[in-house]
Amino acid sequence: MSQPPSLDEENKLKSQGYELIAGIDEVGRGALAGPVVAAAIILPQFTSLPWFKLVRDSKELSPKKRESLFGLISSDALAVGIGSVSPQAIDSINIFEATRLAMMQAVEKLPQQPSFLLIDRLTLPRCPIPQMGITKGDKLCLSIACASIIAKVTRDHLMEEIDGTYPGYGFAKHKGYGTREHISRLQQLGSSPVHRLSFAPIKKKALNTNI
C-alpha cells in the first residue's frame, strides 16, 4: 500500500493562523450515470487519531475499508458537508461546473465555516474563502483523502438506492461507471432518467430515454 497522506499542508496553514481547514474532494465525475458528489471535511485540530495512518485516496481502498473509515471520519471530524448535483444539472451546465457546484454545496453545508479550503485539483472562484487546489491532493493531503472517502461511500450508497429504482442496469455493482457490463445493458435497455445524456457513449448512440 502507498504512503499515507500527511497533515503537512494543514499544519503549514495552522502555523499561518488558519484555524478551521476543510479538505474537499469529489466522486463520480467520470461516471455515465448518477450524481457527482462532493464532501468537505474539517478534521480535529492538533490531534492525531490512530486511524489517520489507515487513510488513503478512496480509489486505493477496498469497499470494506472505505466503509470502516467512513464511520470513523464521520464520528471524529469536527464538521462534514456533502454536496450532490443531479445528472440533469450535469447535462445542463457540464461536468466541470457541476463538480464545482457540488463542492460549493459541500462547503455551504458544513456546520462550521472553514477559514481555508484545501481542494483536490480544482479551485472555486465563486467562493470567497481562501483556498488552494492541490494536484493529487487525495493522495497527499489527509483532509482531502478523508473527503474522498466520505464522497465515495455516500455516492456508492446513492447508486445502490438508484439500482432499486431503475433495476436492470447493474448500478449497485458498477456505480454508474462505463464498464463493459454497463455499456451492454445500455445497448439493451436504452438510457434511464439517471443517465447523463450529454456523455458518450450515450449521446453518440442516441439512446432513447425510458421514463
Q: What is the pLDDT along the chain (211 residues), one digit of tens a residue?
A: 578 999 999 999 999 999 999 999 999 999 999 999 999 999 998 678 999 999 999 999 999 999 999 999 999 999 999 999 999 999 999 999 999 999 999 999 999 999 999 999 999 999 999 999 999 999 999 999 999 999 999 999 999 999 999 999 999 999 999 999 999 999 999 999 999 999 987 886 644 444 3
Is 95 domain-assigned? Answer: yes
Indicate the pTM of the whole model: 0.94
Residue showing cell 493562523: 17
Is 119 domain-assigned? Answer: yes
Reported as type and span, the H/E element at residue 37 is strand 36-42
Q: Beta-carbon neighbour count of residue 134 at 10 Å?
A: 17
Is 200 domain-assigned? Answer: no
Strands 116-120 and 79-85: unpaired
**Cα separation of 38 and 84, whole Å?**
6
Is 193 domain-assigned? Answer: no
The edge-to-edge listing of strands for the beta sheet with 36-42 is 79-85, 36-42, 21-27, 116-120, 131-134
Task: Give the CATH number, domain containing residue 18.
Answer: 3.30.420.10
> How many domains is the chain partitioned into structurally?
1
The DSSP 8-state label assigned to residue 94 in this structure reads: -
Is 2 domain-assigned? Answer: no
Is 206 domain-assigned? Answer: no
Q: Which domain holds residue 55?
A: 8-167
Q: Which residues contact 94 (CB under 8 A, 6 or more apart)?
A: 198
